[in-house]
Amino acid sequence: MKLHEFQAKRIFSRYGVPIPQGEVATTAAQAREIAQHLGCPVVIKAQVLVGGRGKAGGVKLARSADEAEVLADQILGMNIKGLQVKRVLVDKAADIAQEIYLGMVIDRNRRRVAMMASSEGGVDIEEVAATKPEAIKTVLIDPFLGLKSYQAIGIASQIGIPQDQIRQFTKIAFGLYQAFVASDAELAEINPLVVTGSGDLLALDGKMVLDDNALFRHPDLEEMRDQDEESPAETEARLNGLSYVSLDGEIGCMVNGAGLAMATMDIVKHFGGSPANFLDIGGGAKADKVAAALRIILHDPKVKAVLFNIFGGITRCDEVARGILAALDEVQADVPMVARLVGTNEEEGRAILAEADMITAKTLAEAAQKAVAAAREEI
Ligand code: GDP
Ligand code: MN
């Protein structure tokens, strides 16, 4: 789950990372009031869950409260990379002498949190990573020992932080690491971490991605979720307890079990097709869950055929079949469907599906070939 800049910075600040004073506004009039209250100049920053807002015109400097209102009015409602701006952060502007990058991610191969820093922070860190990787310094943090002072000091001197600012830098590095660990983050990033004209360090931008599998431990963080982050299909899937990932292909897949879903996608590819999604309805799925899953699949305009691959263990094939019929009552389906149901109550399941106009198959290979052919309108 991604957090907005203002949310990430508030978390960082709880762990001692200095951030600019600022508040969030949803209207231009509010932005004006905040600017008046903070004192100008201020920066007006679009709060959308994508990077590169600066380049897209979503970060602007206002010298007066009047200008803050005008700029907030321009930025609110703006479309940045497909996301509509609904909120702006109004921050007291900083006087920037240097822009640094400081970030942490989980390096899965090394089984460590990797802390990265660069003297070339600012908007183009991806560019730095591509063209000048040696400008990005990395240390790996042992999860049992945590971040050690020598590591923080070491990376500070590698990126040329002057002696006077090393203490401030290491305090920020420790704060960011604590915020990262305490929130079960996958990524925590400050870009830019600026050195101001008066020599202070300040986190101007913040980004955090949290591990969805750990969110149950953080109800307070879960509440910060922005529904706009997900597509409507992904939201519906999550609310129905379905694991759904939208893909580029044309064959909608409904499968019970993640491994079986992967195998189904592989075999669709093997026979020359391309899956439109990964969808695991889980074990023991009841009719309503199946119906929700089918609604989600059929809502995708790319889908030219649907493949059901159900292994009835705990899941009962007749329940699944009933779910498919219930969904077909609700949603208009004008694409061919191929069903392969085996296991518990498969006979009953097939009998129920016989009522629907459905292509059936006995093996997964046969089902996949039929789905590929159906998507090409060959059957
Ligand atoms: P991003 O483009 O989405 O990463 O948004 P950032 O928050 O990183 O802002 C982009 C750029 O705007 C920064 O790298 C700064 O150069 C500039 N910027 C942001 N806040 C301030 C500020 O308070 N003062 C000044 N002078 N520039 C700022
Ligand atoms: Mn940034």
Q: What is the pLDDT of residues 202-229, one digit of tens each?
A: 999 999 999 999 999 999 999 999 877 7
Mean pLDDT of all residues belonging to the chain: 93
Using an 8 Å Cβ cutoff, are 92 and 38 in contact?
yes
**Domains held by the chain: number:** 3
Catalytic residue IDs? 101, 189
User: Would you call the peptide bond into 219 cis, given omega within 30 degrees of 0 as the criterion?
Assistant: no
Statement to judge: residues 218 and 302 lie in one domain:
no
The position carrying tokens 């390096």 is 107
Percent over 70 (pLDDT), the chain: 99
User: Would you call the peptide bond into 162 cis, given omega within 30 degrees of 0 as the criterion?
Assistant: no
Statement to judge: residues 164 and 186 lie in one domain:
yes
Question: 232 pLDDT band (50/70/90 cuts)?
Answer: confident
Question: Where is the domain boundary, 92, 112, 128?
Answer: 92
Its domain, for residue 322, covers: 232-375
Ligand 1 atom index nearest CA of 53: 3
3-state secondary structure of 140: strand
Statement to judge: residues 51 and 186 lie in one domain:
no
Statement to judge: residues 253 and 369 lie in one domain:
yes
Statement to judge: residues 168 and 281 lie in one domain:
no
pLDDT, position 379: 65
Question: Where is the domain boundary, 39, 71, 92?
Answer: 92
Pocket residue to mutate for ligand 1, from 50, 205, 207, 208, most atoms within 8 A of Cβ = 205
Ligand 1 atom index nearest CA of 122: 14
Please, which residues have CB less than 5 A from ligand 2, an ion? 191, 205
How much distance in Å is there from the Cα of 133 to the middle of ligand 2? 18
Distance CA 25, CA 324 (A): 45
Q: What is the pLDDT of residues 8-57, one digit of tens each?
A: 999 999 999 999 999 999 999 999 999 999 999 999 999 999 888 998 99
| 1 occurs within a structural domain | no
Statement to judge: residues 267 and 318 lie in one domain:
yes
Number of alpha carbons in the 13 Å side-chain half-sphere of residue 198: 4
| 162 occurs within a structural domain | yes
Strand partners, 105: 114, 187
| 135 occurs within a structural domain | yes
Distance CA 318, CA 305 (A): 22
How much distance in Å is there from the Cα of 91 to the middle of ligand 2? 14
Question: Where is the domain boundary, 59, 92, 125?
Answer: 92
Statement to judge: residues 100 and 88 lie in one domain:
no
The CATH number that applies at residue 100 is: 3.30.470.20
Ligand 1 atom index nearest CA of 91: 23
pLDDT over 90 at 234, yes or no = no
Statement to judge: residues 102 and 202 lie in one domain:
yes
Statement to judge: residues 101 and 36 lie in one domain:
no
| 227 occurs within a structural domain | no
Instruction: Classify strands 243-246 and 22-25 as parallel, antiparallel or unpaired.
Output: unpaired
Statement to judge: residues 123 and 84 lie in one domain:
no
Ligand 1 residue neighbourhood (C-beta within 6 Å): 43, 45, 51-54, 59, 61, 91, 93-94, 96, 99, 122-123, 191-192, 204-205
The CATH number that applies at residue 69 is: 3.30.1490.20
Residue nearest to atom 23 of ligand 1 (CA): 93
Residue nearest to atom 3 of ligand 1 (CA): 53
Statement to judge: residues 183 and 275 lie in one domain:
no
Q: What is the pLDDT of residues 343-354, one digit of tens each?
A: 999 999 988 888
pLDDT over 80 at 2, yes or no = yes
Contacts of 84 (CB under 8 A, 6+ apart): 48, 77, 78, 228
| 3 occurs within a structural domain | no
Q: What is the pLDDT of residues 283-321, one digit of tens each?
A: 777 778 888 999 999 988 899 999 999 998 888 899 888
Statement to judge: residues 173 and 239 lie in one domain:
no
The whole-model pTM stands at: 0.75
Closest CA to 154 of 115, 101, 190: 115
